[in-house]
Amino acid sequence: MTVRFVVPVVVLLGAGYAATASSSASAAGACLSMPLVFETQTMTGCPDPASLETALDAPLAVGSRSPETGKPSGVRLTSTDGSSTRNVRTCREYTDAIGNGWYAATQLDMNFEGFMRVACGSVLALAAAGASTTSRFEDESVGFQTLSLLPVDILPALSPDVEDALATLKSGQFSVGNMVASGDVLTRGNSPEQLELAYAGVASTYGEVARGDFDNNGSEDILVYARHDAVNGSLRWYELFALSYPDQSLTYERIEPAGIGVLEPAP
């Protein structure tokens, strides 16, 4: 019997829902720019702590579909010693497993896990976010699709040489827009929901998840997901990061959102 796989093409994004700047520079705290879609619920707007707590136990539609039930089976993780496996479907289950050393052992498992990390990281980042009181994004009417302000370290680096090249460009405050102008980065078609770029043999899709204060300094940040696919291979990986826009900076700065550190693998 054929087993079908659920690999989300657009992470967390509900159909027809445009990513727009939310009015999170207020006491409302972090607000979603796109829905967080779970198997049993969809979260929108500016979720309160109780809603985010509930989301930790909501199953995600990810993993291979069971031929018996037709439902996604979740992400398969392997124990530290490799002797057993378990499937996790919720963020609470995943966080607990990662904290105890369980890991994704195969490329397919890693693909599914990458999606789960972004989904769960979004919930954790929203829960840890503060209310922003200022917003340079709002003041200048710019966002995550403003290529001239995107820092080059949002681009993927599959080799040390590419990583070194991006570090040099970042030190000079080059932007993704500069690299598009030079032909080093190609745009693959943009929409209100996504930004698609191609660089160094990798096709990348980016989307704005939410706006809020994700480093708790009072200024508004943008929470962004990224999915990277090797053009000539099966390698795929996901990222979740935030963009800040400090005063006097010529580009945004990539930062790690507060709250997602618990998703780091156990040492």
Question: Three-state SS for 91?
Answer: helix
Q: Are 111 and 132 in contact (CB under 8 A)?
A: no
Nearest to 52 by CA among 66, 67, 63, 41: 41
At residue 5, the pLDDT reads 34
Q: How does the average pLDDT of the chain come out, rounded?
A: 87
pLDDT tens-place string over residues 210-264: 999 999 999 999 999 999 999 888 788 999 999 999 998 999 999 999 999 999 8
Q: What letter represents residue 117's amino acid? A: R
Would you call 171 helix, strand, or coil by DSSP? helix
Cβ partners under 8 Å of residue 140, min gap 6: none
- CA 247, 118, 96, 215: dihedral to nearest 10 degrees? 10
Place of tokens 């985010």: 52
User: How big is the chain by its Cα radius of gyration, in Å?
Assistant: 18
Who has greater pLDDT, 175 or 4? 175
How much is the average pLDDT of 75-102?
Answer: 96
- The helix/strand/coil state of 219 is strand
238: helix, coil or strand? strand
Helices 91-99 and 107-128: angle between axes, nearest 10 degrees: 110
pLDDT band with cut points at 50, 70 and 90 for residue 175:
very high
Q: pLDDT per residue over 44-82, tens digit each? A: 999 999 999 999 999 999 998 888 888 899 999 999 999
| Digit-coded pLDDT (tens) for 8-32 | 434 454 433 444 444 434 345 799 9
Interval 116-132 mean pLDDT: 95
Quote the pLDDT of residue 267. 65
Which residues touch 151 (CB under 8 Å, ≥6 apart)?
A: 170, 175, 176, 243, 251, 252, 253, 254
Given a cut of 70, whether residue 87 has pLDDT beyond it is yes
